[in-house]
Amino acid sequence: MKQKVKLKGHLKVYLQTALILGILLALVNVGIYFLDIRAGICISGFLVVYLFVMSMLLYRNKPIIMNEFINFATQYGQIQRMLLRELELPHVLMDDTGRIIWTNAAFEQVIHKDKGYRKSITTVFPAVTGDKLAFEQDTEMELSFEEHEYVFKMKKLSVKDVLDNSDVIESGDSGSFLIAGYLFDETALKHALRENDDQSLAVGMIYIDNYDEALESVEEVRRSLLMALIDRKINKYVASVDGIVRKTEKDKYLVIMRKKALKSLKEARFDLLEDVKTVNIGNEMAVTVSIGVGVDAPTYVQNCEYARTAIDLALGRGGDQAVVKSPDSIVYYGGKSQQIEKNTRVKARVKANALQEIITSKDRVLIMVHRLADADAFGAAVGISCIARALSRKSHIVINDITTSVKPLVELFRDRNIYEEDFIISSADALELADSSTVLVVVDVNKPSITECPELIKSCKTVVVLDHHRQSSEVIENATLSYVEPYASSTCEMVAEVLQYIAGTVKVRSNEADCMYSGIMVDTNNFTAKTGVRTFEAAAFLRRCGADVTRVRKMFRDGASEYKAKAETVRNAEIYRNAYAMGICPSEGLESPTEIGAQAANELLGINGIKASFVATDYNGTIYISARSIDEVNVQIIMERLGGGGHMNIAGAQLKDKTPEQAIAIVKATVSQMLEEGAI
């Protein structure tokens, strides 16, 4: 098809100016005829000649003028192409599939390709995949190529828009587009930013977990030597990364270092945790330390606050571990050893006095447990209700769903006339009762998201937390009193101790003692796991209050279907890596399959050579994973990778939108990854 070349714009007006002036002169000539006919005839003759000459010049010279303009445009375009070709900014032009159409010299120099390279951009930069090219607006991405770091900016160019600027070619396909890409070398900038970031301040705190206990386990003449060796270990460890350490108290150290030094410590997984345990001059108890580090805060003061929060988390999780806190994350290291039980009850007495003051200052006590309450949670709640009754305060236990595991215990209170109907209430009723004169006591849980009613925590201004689970990054932040002791066997053990320090005589009825005793018995697997001197002392106190071992044992006998399901889980269990038992508990026909799964996990630990067991149970569309170990593996840190938590020996997690088989596969992958990292 023959294409027409048309003039437009200012050029067209300029070339037609002579004809426009001739037309104006013709109008003037008409007026002259009224003044002087002879003058009008003369001007008319001149006008005819003028219009003829100008028309001929415009018609005959138009191709010459257009040719001159085309020559100029061609030379101008060549200059543009030359400038773009020699531009120092690497530039590439691609079609909509990513195939290279044109490159400038700078881009060819970067990718080390010849001028005619016409393959896909993915062959040069594998990160630029097809989905990255399917963008709507201008986009950019980071690339690494031959030890250089680039920002690759891409922009779409519509073929129709480009061709519409010219009258020479008409665009047919309105959907076609080209992609222009630009490479910006930011290697030096990012290197400078990394150097600056590496030099930023990191604040650390090191606490000796068992200072008093370790000193008591060694002869008095050697105590100063033991502490000198520990000081030397810590000072040498910090000095190896060019840091500064100062001893602030007999068992506390402050550490200042660069972020670059922290990276090397993280890569070594804070080997000071294991190195300090090698100090042995006859001490029967190995020394353990906890480390808390704050980094990446906008101010030095904030870094120090992060470090303090991190060390609190490390201690709250049982010690013998390092916690690194930044504005975006909290990372845990270590935590492989069992925490030593403290024989002193000073802390229990102090917490009991504080709890008594808080309850007496309020009119009502709400006691909340975790979802799917177990015997320990309900028993601890009953113990707190005993304290409230002794202090003449009305109490309510908040439970939404009464599980099979606590149903026998709940029946002990519904059959007696001495308990009011609102002794056990739902979360909706609790929200109506919550006001400024109400104290909320949360037992057997310190994660607000898994309580029976997280909104209740926000509704009550006074909150008390009593728990024996290790703390995670999610904690109840507005707690007036927090008593979290990971070394305790159960929350019932902690409450039994607190009961003994409440002013006056707290009368614990036999059914209440049975509930608390059952909580200790279940959490310790019949006093075979995580038991200490204080565990048996608490059990003895409850026995004196009327707890009956035979009565408790009868309440927790399994039905035939539950026993068969547990046996089926153990029979079909898989031994992974010769040390980890993996099983799936059938849930069909069971009222509380999660409890049976936990019991099956305990049974699997009886197999010789098993370090840890994991049982997945499907309950109401959610997969509950029960993890158990004896002493070699910290199942808590494994479950934390899956969003759960718990103790070193008893932990769990919940997975949604998964099958039990998929859940076990995830556990296997997590265990393998942590074994490779040296985390377990």
Higher pLDDT, 13 or 311: 311
pLDDT over 70 at 62, yes or no: no
Report the range out of 22-36, 488-502, 635-649 with the highest average pLDDT.
Answer: 488-502
What was the pLDDT predicted at 488? 86
Residues paired with 323 in a beta bridge? 292, 332
pLDDT over 80 at 9, yes or no: no
**Which pLDDT tens digit goes with each residue over 616-632?**
999 888 999 999 998 78
Dig out the tokens for 341 from the structure.
């039980």
**Which pLDDT tens digit goes with each residue over 366-402?**
999 998 888 999 999 999 999 999 999 999 999 988 8
Q: How much is the average pLDDT of 445-471?
A: 89
The residues, any chain, with a CB within 8 Å of residue 347's CB and separated by 6 or more, are 483, 485
pLDDT over 80 at 2, yes or no: no
Selection from 99, 111, 101 nearest residue 150 by Cα: 111
pLDDT confidence tier of residue 22, bands split at 50, 70 and 90: confident
The residues, any chain, with a CB within 8 Å of residue 48's CB and separated by 6 or more, are none
Q: Tell me the H-state helices in 100-186.
A: 105-111, 130-133, 159-163
What was the pLDDT predicted at 164? 55
**Which pLDDT tens digit goes with each residue over 249-301?**
999 999 999 999 999 999 888 999 989 988 888 877 888 999 999 999 989 99
Handedness of CA 564, 566, 567, 572 (dihedral sign): positive
Asked which of 18-27, 192-201, 613-622 is least confident by mean pLDDT, the reply is 18-27
What was the pLDDT predicted at 398? 93
Round to whole Å and give the CA distance between 194 and 263: 12
Q: How much is the average pLDDT of 59-70?
A: 67
Q: What is the DSSP letter of 131?
A: H
pLDDT over 50 at 505, yes or no: yes
What was the pLDDT predicted at 301? 92
**Which pLDDT tens digit goes with each residue over 82-95?**
777 788 888 888 88
Long-range CB contact pairs, 557-564, < 8 A, 24+: 558/596, 558/599, 561/589, 561/590, 562/590, 562/596
Selection from 481, 444, 490 nearest residue 351 by Cα: 481
CA atoms within 13 A on the CB side of 381: 29
What was the pLDDT predicted at 113? 85
Asked which of 179-183, 515-519, 581-585 is least confident by mean pLDDT, the reply is 179-183
pLDDT confidence tier of residue 524, bands split at 50, 70 and 90: confident
What was the pLDDT predicted at 341? 53
CB 259 within 8 A of CB 195: no
Bridge-based pairing of strands 438-443 and 424-425 is unpaired
Round to whole Å and give the CA distance between 238 and 549: 53
CB 517 within 8 A of CB 562: no
Round to whole Å and give the CA distance between 200 and 132: 34
What was the pLDDT predicted at 655? 92
Kindly provide the residue ranges of all beta strands, DSSP E only, lying in 447-504, ordered along the sequence.
Answer: 462-467, 481-484
pLDDT confidence tier of residue 337, bands split at 50, 70 and 90: low
Dig out the tokens for 114 from the structure.
């010849």
Dig out the tokens for 72 from the structure.
């100029």
pLDDT over 50 at 236, yes or no: yes
Higher pLDDT, 366 or 62: 366
Higher pLDDT, 439 or 196: 439
How many other CB atoms sit within 10 Å of the CB of residue 474? 14
**Which pLDDT tens digit goes with each residue over 580-629?**
999 999 988 887 888 889 989 999 998 999 999 999 999 888 999 999 99
pLDDT over 70 at 560, yes or no: yes
Round to whole Å and give the CA distance between 330 and 472: 9
Q: What are the DSSP calls for 267-308, one per residue?
A: HTT-THHHHGGG--SS-SS---EEEEEEES-SSHHHHHHHHH
User: In whole numbers, what is the pLDDT of the chain averaged over residues?
Assistant: 85
User: Angle, to 10 degrees, between the axis of helix 375-390 and the axis of helix 491-499?
Assistant: 20
pLDDT over 90 at 243, yes or no: yes
Q: Which amino acid is at 82?
A: M
Report the range out of 60-74, 534-548, 587-601 with the highest average pLDDT.
Answer: 534-548
pLDDT over 60 at 170, yes or no: no
Instruction: Tell me if residue 160 falls in helix, strand or coil.
Output: helix
Q: How much is the average pLDDT of 206-211?
A: 90
Of the chain, the percentage scoring pLDDT greater than 90 comes to 34
pLDDT confidence tier of residue 180, bands split at 50, 70 and 90: confident
Q: How much is the average pLDDT of 632-658?
A: 87
Asked which of 40-54, 72-86, 448-462, 608-622 is least confident by mean pLDDT, the reply is 72-86
